[in-house]
Amino acid sequence: MLLKRNPALTHEAFVKHHIEKHGPLFKQIPEAAEHVIRYLQTHPIKEKSATVKVDDFDSLKPNMVVADGIPNPPMTHFLKSAKEKGCTTLTGLGMLVNQGTIAVKYWTGVDADPLVMH
């Protein structure tokens, strides 16, 4: 999910609203409670050097399928950790390719071949 900050909000107010309003709303969705094992919010950062490292992946089990929507780098820290725990992993490349095929169809009317785009 991508969010755009309302220009009337400061960066800090936007992040606070996202954490205190959007997170709890998501957790109230019954399907989320049933199917989502880990919900991790990320927030825009002001400086490139401001990063958060997450290493708590104890909930991952070998029978799980784990996906990350980030296409670059394909094997994120999260996916590497999941693979080390025996999970089946899916990178963000498939999502990127499928979004691209939809965009090509939308803008040109041409059905793009996802295998070629991959």
Higher pLDDT pick, 9 / 3:
9
| For residues 3-12, average pLDDT | 80
Q: Which pLDDT value is given to residue 88?
A: 92
Confidence of residue 3 (pLDDT cuts 50, 70, 90): low
- Can you list the domains of the chain with their CATH numbers? 1-50 (no CATH), 53-118 (3.40.50.720)
Place of tokens 């989502």: 36
Confidence of residue 43 (pLDDT cuts 50, 70, 90): low
Instruction: Quick: pLDDT tens for 66-85.
Output: 888 887 788 888 888 889 99
Tens digit of each residue's pLDDT (9 = 90 or more) over 101-117:
888 888 999 998 888 87
Burial of 82 (0-12, 13-18, 19+ CB in 10 A): buried
Q: CA-to-CA distance for 1 and 57, rounded, in angstroms? A: 22
pLDDT, greater one: 42 or 62: 62
% pLDDT > 90, the chain? 8
- Position 16, amino acid: K
Predicted local distance difference test score (pLDDT) of residue 45: 60
Determine if the peptide bond prior to 73 is cis (ω within 30°).
yes
- DSSP characters for the chain? ------TTS-HHHHHHHIIIIIHHHHHT-HHHHHH-S--------SSTT--------TT--TT-EEE----SSSS-HHHHHHHHTT-EEE-THHHHHHHHHHHHHHHH-----HHHH-
CA angle 82, 59, 48 (to 5 degrees): 60
Residue with tokens 């606070």: 16
Per-residue confidence (pLDDT) for residue 109, from 0 to 100: 92
Return the pLDDT at 42.
66
